[in-house]
Chains A and B, each alone.
Chain A
Amino acid sequence: MKNVININDEHLKELEAEAIFVMREVAAQFENKVLLFSGGKDSILLVHLARKAFWPARIPFSLMHIDTGHNFEETLKFRDDLAKEFGAELIVRYVQDSIDKGRVTEEQGVNASRNKAQSITLLDAIDELKIDVAIGGGRRDEEKARAKERFFSHRNEFGQWDPKNQRPELWNIFNGRKHSGEHFRVFPISNWTELDVWQYILNENIKLPELYYTHKRKIFSRNGVYLAWAPFMQLKPNEHVFETDVRCRTIGDITCTGLTLSKAGSLEEIISEIAATRVTERGGRYDDKRSEAAMEDRKKEGYF
């Protein structure tokens, strides 16, 4: 991949048209619709695409955030402002509530993360609110199990994904039929790559949380990944906290979001940096490093 920036790419127009088409299919085929909103760039992009798909009408989905409680502060404010700006209903469900109710056992030890526990909270919310479709920002280029994912991904009544028995998806015809109790996860930006997302954000002038741009932060290094320090993070004896210039390449739960040492302060600089990088986006995600099939296993259980 060469280090080039072209903001008028024809391919972005095609990806946008495809994503809008998928969103409109969701609006037409389902009843109780949510858009999974994490505050990360992919979910922000989804909200913008949804606005484009339905303008001048309002977005026909609620935004749903599964809150681990381990957030970057700024993401929450950004989330609330965006929902207000677009007039969308915001639904928040807390992993802490699932822990308090005994639905989830909190992981212990230095590597403890609530990332996996989110799946339970999410499935409980889907059950509670009778949600029949949840739109997510998953992309096939992110991870090898995701490369096998459909646009319309069926989940059985236990919320599970059966990768070996997926419905074939042909042309632009999407089969969202299901039995009661089952639901769908829909991924409108399946065919986008990380670079496509950034170039589109630049083209469309989409506002992102400041975390994506370079800033000073207290961090530490663990197994080759830079993690943000927060008061609830347990450090191993050989780990020490230091402050430097970083930015987030992805934003998730603070316990598993790897940071990039970077001085990129504008979208153009970020795109140049990504075009030149030799490590994938999720290469810095601590949750994927746990085992080779970590993502596949979490997805089968009901993860995003």
Chain B
Amino acid sequence: MKINGKSENKSLLRFTTAGSVDDGKSTLIGRLLYDSKSIFEDQMEHIVQSGKRLGREELDLSLLTDGLRAEREQGITIDVAYRYFATPARKFIIADTPGHIQYTRNMVTGASTADLAVILIDARKGVLEQTIRHSYIASLLDIRHIIFCINKMDMINWDESVYTNIKNELALLVDKLNIADSHFIPISAKYGDNVVDKSEKMNWYHGKTFLKLIESIEIRKNKNPDIKRFPVQTIIRPNTSEFHDYRGYAGRVAGGVFRPGDEVTVLPSLLKSKIKSIDVLGKTLSETIAGDSVTISLEDQIDISRGDMLVSSDDLPVISQDIKLMICWFNERPMKIGGRYLIKINSNEAGCIVKSVNYRMNINNLENDFENRTINMNDIASITIKTSKPMFFDSYKKNNITGSMIFIDEGTNETVAAGMIV
């Protein structure tokens, strides 16, 4: 494809949207899809018909993302919905997270796979507690790029000074949260100003439109290219005459670059070997990088099973049974201090006991609460756990695949928490 005369591959950008229903989040997404011509005729017909049935007067673009019957009837979004659209520059996956019920849980879920977060702010209201909450969650999940959309500019007469004040206040927040890359855009999702097309009402804004920005923002997917991480998912043993001795380790590269001949250390055994080959369906690769699903075979016969990991010998992960981490609690039943849970780090499972709650995060003012240590649904806290066997992991900041985990309730099998290792 030719863009500005140079040839480029279409890349994939995953982003999550935050903001309550009143901030115009669904309208922004609807506007984006509508103006980029990604809404199809039959979907449009559905929106018009549903709107009529529900007695809505204006065209309600939020009906596009509310997929379940209860959502359309009650005018609320219940669950994370994924939307897809593409422009000649990029393909986009939007995790649209609901504003009201179980907000933190949903935003954490949507943010866990996002490269970028979009946070909406109502220009009339400015920076609210929820803006702080959304920004904090984005930083907790280590999303490096945040776009703050100051919406409803039409309601404040397109006033530049209101926008500038909000922007200055946000800049302080961005500083405090150590967010690497932040952007600010004044928009009107309802009328489309600065969403896809440049606003004629806000000549004072010289930056990119929202679509231009998400099309051009540079995303670094391989965070630490020098640190090899390969969690083993399953063992490939064909047992056929053609591949009699073949033994491959299937997995998705979680960090770094692997090449045939590279030395790797196998965890938990700490044995060393060299990479013999990297295979994908009859092809042998000369290298593989973070994000690739491949099968790796080693020079030596070593006992390796699911949950083990191949890593750089000169930069090993932490190996320990004591883990300190930030968690977000998802379940209606509060977390039990001293309680037992199953954890999963990649494909590696173990039991754990919650040893202590270090503090609870008050995400409305970003202060640590050392008094109340009851962890309820949607709470974020720093905790320490002890695992039933030595685990190998990195800090979440270093590698979000080898530094993240989920907690499972053994009785109900539900996923009750997400954890990010400190």
- A residues with CB within 8 A of B: 1-2, 4, 6, 8-11, 13-18, 20-21, 24-25, 27-28, 51-58, 140-141, 143-148, 163-164, 166-173, 175, 177-179, 190-191, 193, 195-196, 277-280, 283, 292-293, 296
The CA of A278 and the CA of B38, in the complex, are separated in Å by 9
Given contacts A16-B293, A173-B405, A193-B84, contact A6 B1 (CB under 8 A): yes
Please, which residues of chain B bring their CB within 8 A of the CB of A2?
A: 87-88
Which chain B residue lies CB-closest to A224?
A: B42
Which chain B residue lies CB-closest to A58?
A: B238
B12's partner among A14, A140, A170, A296 (CB-CB below 8 A) is A14
- B residues with CB within 8 A of A: 1, 9-12, 36-38, 40-43, 46, 49-50, 64-70, 72, 78-88, 90-91, 93, 105-106, 108-109, 112-113, 233-234, 236-240, 242-243, 246, 248, 250-252, 279-282, 291-293, 295, 306, 330, 342, 344-347, 400-401, 404-406, 408, 413-415, 418
Query: Contact between B418 and A55 (Cβ–Cβ < 8 Å)?
Result: no
A279's partner among B41, B91, B105 (CB-CB below 8 A) is B41
Query: Contact between B243 and A56 (Cβ–Cβ < 8 Å)?
Result: yes
Please, which residues of chain A bring their CB within 8 A of the CB of B1?
A: 4, 6
Query: Contact between B415 and A14 (Cβ–Cβ < 8 Å)?
Result: no
The CA of A51 and the CA of B282, in the complex, are separated in Å by 11
* 28 CB < 8 A contacts A-B: A1-B36, A9-B9, A13-B292, A55-B280, A56-B238, A56-B246, A144-B46, A144-B68, A145-B68, A147-B83, A148-B79, A167-B415, A168-B105, A168-B330, A170-B415, A170-B418, A172-B401, A173-B344, A173-B404, A173-B405, A177-B342, A177-B413, A193-B84, A193-B91, A277-B40, A278-B40, A292-B49, A296-B69
The CA of A17 and the CA of B345, in the complex, are separated in Å by 19
Query: Contact between B233 and A21 (Cβ–Cβ < 8 Å)?
Result: yes
Please, which residues of chain B bring their CB within 8 A of the CB of A293?
A: 68-69
A-B contact count (CB 8 A): 188
Please, which residues of chain B bring their CB within 8 A of the CB of A296?
A: 67-69
The CA of A283 and the CA of B41, in the complex, are separated in Å by 9
Query: Contact between A11 and B291 (Cβ–Cβ < 8 Å)?
Result: no
Query: Contact between B279 and A55 (Cβ–Cβ < 8 Å)?
Result: yes
Given contacts A55-B282, A56-B236, A296-B67, contact A179 B413 (CB under 8 A): yes
B contacts with A: majority SS: mixed
Query: Contact between B41 and A278 (Cβ–Cβ < 8 Å)?
Result: yes
Please, which residues of chain A bring their CB within 8 A of the CB of B113?
A: 170-172
Given contacts A21-B252, A55-B295, A56-B246, contact A170 B404 (CB under 8 A): yes
Query: Contact between A28 and B9 (Cβ–Cβ < 8 Å)?
Result: no
Query: Contact between B252 and A172 (Cβ–Cβ < 8 Å)?
Result: yes
Query: Contact between A52 and B82 (Cβ–Cβ < 8 Å)?
Result: no
Which chain A residue lies CB-closest to B85?
A: A1
Query: Contact between B67 and A147 (Cβ–Cβ < 8 Å)?
Result: yes
Please, which residues of chain A bring their CB within 8 A of the CB of B413?
A: 175, 177-179
Query: Contact between B43 and A280 (Cβ–Cβ < 8 Å)?
Result: yes
Please, which residues of chain A bring their CB within 8 A of the CB of B344?
A: 173, 175
* B391 shortest CB reach to chain A, Å: 14
A10's partner among B10, B237, B238, B346 (CB-CB below 8 A) is B10
The CA of A166 and the CA of B405, in the complex, are separated in Å by 18
Query: Contact between B252 and A175 (Cβ–Cβ < 8 Å)?
Result: no
Please, which residues of chain A bring their CB within 8 A of the CB of B83?
A: 141, 147
Query: Contact between B292 and A292 (Cβ–Cβ < 8 Å)?
Result: no
The CA of A9 and the CA of B78, in the complex, are separated in Å by 33
